[in-house]
Structure 1
């Protein structure tokens, strides 16, 4: 019988995760060159250019998922809260990555928005895997936190610390 070490098991799990993500990702970008230009503009900090280009494209056709993410990020970093929330209300499929930006926008804008159950559940789904999601949830919902919920968050904090410690050990071994 063959023994598998913990690090080998961890590597296999990570490999399966990467394969799963890649298999789920569908290429839906109409013109990769066009998208690359907008992406480069975003990465170099030309947010108003990105916003203008994507706003024009939005008038012509529906934005792809990747373009939508860039559009929302540009609105967020430009602090265009009214437009951000207006577009958010129109958005049907809300990618997990944008859930972070949505809750950050609520906190930064100090807008008194009613968060629907689907949006709150999307953030709750991210809690076990993201320290940032935990922090956002605590900032957004902190005053309403019950003592038993606080214990859960403290346990989650210990879990994240354990994972960081294990990752640090793995990096030292290499």
Structure 2
């Protein structure tokens, strides 16, 4: 059963009760990474193993995401700043306990590639907060694995175009 979550703004990234941040660098340029995140939403399952389905909604201002295991999200894109930032808020989900959830991907040039920082900002009752804190290593691993797969995908695309 889907439940509506509390709508939050971009400031939630800094004030959320649970903030998990992960970062890494890739060889792909910021414009390539941004395109994959914001414009090629349907391709997320090809590089992010935790995502089983993804599709843009409302002309690209929303997203519908399915995770492996059956969790579903209806999202609103909150920030779409080419080559810099992509953020989305979960409006509706079947995940238990969540009260609010916002995710942000920050991109910055790093040498000939991109520095990526992903922030997972959430609110929920104390047991959920503890569970998310305990899940930090797994979420970090999932992020790093996904970003490596994305970089491999973007490198192969770039090499095929030469």
TM-score between the two structures when normalised by the length of structure 1: 0.26
Q: Which has the higher helix share?
A: 1
Which structure has more RCO (C-alpha within 8 Å, separation ≥ 6)? 2
Asked which structure has the greater CA Rg, the reply is: 1
TM-score between the two structures when normalised by the length of structure 2: 0.27
Q: Which has the higher strand share?
A: 2
